A and B are shown apart, each in its own frame.
Chain A
Amino acid sequence: MAKIVAGIATSHVPAIGVAMDKGNTATPYWEPLFRGYGPAREWLAKLKPDAAIIVFNDHASAFSLQLIPTFTIGVAERFPIADEGFGPRPVPEVRGYPDLAWHLAESLILDEFDMTIANEMPVDHGLTVPLSVTCGQPAQWPFPVIPLCVNVVQYPPPTGMRCFKLGRAIRRIVGEFAGDARVVIYGTGGMSHQLQGERAGLINRKFDTDFMDGLTRDPAALTRITHTEYMREAGSEGVEMVMWHVMRGALEDDVTEVYRHYHVPASNTAAGLIILENGSGA
């Protein structure tokens, strides 16, 4: 029987990937950020999950404005690394997990989540930076990945509540999978940041801290944050945090916070990372 054993949420700032790819992680600017990723890597290496579901958003890489699916699940054997406009990141191709991905796709649709199914989907920094942050720079990623892509580029993204409910469904459906797999789920994006307009550079440490606290204390309250509140309080691109709710919804009601790291700035962004384990154990 398969089971979601733990959740990770992390920012997916492209500059973090560039810093790793160029070997700049020990510079005074980046060292404090990367130092905080060490314990997360150790935790994940010890957990040794069989697979990961990574909830992320595409940044005009696999999808353009021609087609804007709200939720997409990748069912391919492999996912190539996207060229986002400066060449593909020099990281390993991402291996898929078609058996579980198709099981999720079929069951989610029958459960009334209208998933888009992707047989081909290059993946960009939204998915690869979280892998880099938590796995370092291996020759191959240590586990297969099911990419779950959420639209946050064209307003409106799905609500936090919808994302949470999707997570709830994922938890149950993974549990019904005939195979045997311990699965970790990633929510990515955020935390507070604004990349556009005269208000670029907005950071809200209090909002971010309260949000991370709320994941264990009162996740239901977090699902009621409106898009306007995210944008006003956490910056226009802070609305990416709806994706963290998919991760939280996929865990048990009772979770334990294992680790957190928060650092400002990573380029224009407040970089946050949190690890949650189910109360019943990983």
Chain B
Amino acid sequence: MSTPPDYESIPGTYVYDARRGRQGYQLNMFCMSLNKPENRARFKADPAAYLDGFSLSAEQRRTVLERDWLGMLRVGGNIYYTIKIAFCDGLTFQDVAGMMSGVPKDVYAKMMLAGGRSPDGNRFKPAPGGTDHG
């Protein structure tokens, strides 16, 4: 493997590149199936049985069943896809964004109303070559 891409230095960010594209294909294609109302109904009625129709890893399966939104990104989930699970649950993009950033809904909403998260202090991971997000 060549040197890590420069965007790996951005904190709290999971760029959907080749590596994640290979890892997450099945997970994201499951999410894509939720564009059809009949599939949404089947998934809601019996999530585990519905997931049997897709070749997910055990960890991918766990993140979906437990709605571990951040965990999904770590096993190759693409936010434009995984958000379809949230739509199924009646959640909004802002609900999920708050959960991923680890703060209560009202705290996140207030941060956005106050102008959003500042880029200052959020451009680079703290230590050189800092933690890998998986």
Contact = CB atoms under 8 A, between A and B. Distances in A.
Interface of A: 14-15, 59-61, 64-66, 82-87, 153-156, 192, 194-205, 207, 227-228, 231-233, 236-237, 264-265, 267-268, 270
A234 to B, nearest CB: 8
Contact of B122 (A15, A61, A85, A199): A199
Interface of B: 5-7, 9-18, 21, 25, 28-29, 31-32, 34-37, 40, 70, 73, 78-81, 83-84, 87-88, 92-94, 97-98, 100-102, 108, 111-113, 115-119, 122-124, 133
A76 B70 CA distance: 39
Nearest to A152: B80
B14 A83 contact: no
16 contacts: A60-B81, A64-B32, A85-B34, A153-B78, A195-B83, A197-B14, A197-B133, A198-B12, A199-B10, A199-B117, A205-B115, A232-B9, A233-B123, A267-B94, A267-B112, A268-B116
B16 A154 contact: yes
B102 A198 contact: yes
A199 B101 contact: yes
B78 to A, nearest CB: 7
Q: Most chain-B CB neighbours within 10 Å: which of A14, A60, A264?
A: A60
A201 B119 contact: no
Given A83-B36, A85-B34, A201-B111, A196 B116 contact: no
Chain A binding site: helix, strand, loop or mixed by DSSP?
loop
Q: Which of B5, B92, B93 lies at the interface centre, i.e. has the most chain A CB atoms within 10 A of its CB?
A: B93
Given A231-B7, A232-B10, A85 B116 contact: no
A102 B88 CA distance: 38
Contacts of B10: 199, 228, 231-232, 236
B84 A197 contact: no
A57 to B, nearest CB: 9
A106 to B, nearest CB: 31
A86 B108 contact: no
A197 B12 contact: yes
- Counting chain B CB atoms within 10 Å of each CB, which of A82, A85, A86, A155 scores highest? A85
A194 B116 CA distance: 10
A197 to B, nearest CB: 4
Contacts of A268: 93-94, 97, 112, 116
Contacts of A84: 35, 84, 87
Considering residues A66, A195, A201, A232, which has the most beta carbons from chain B within 10 angstroms of its beta carbon?
A: A201
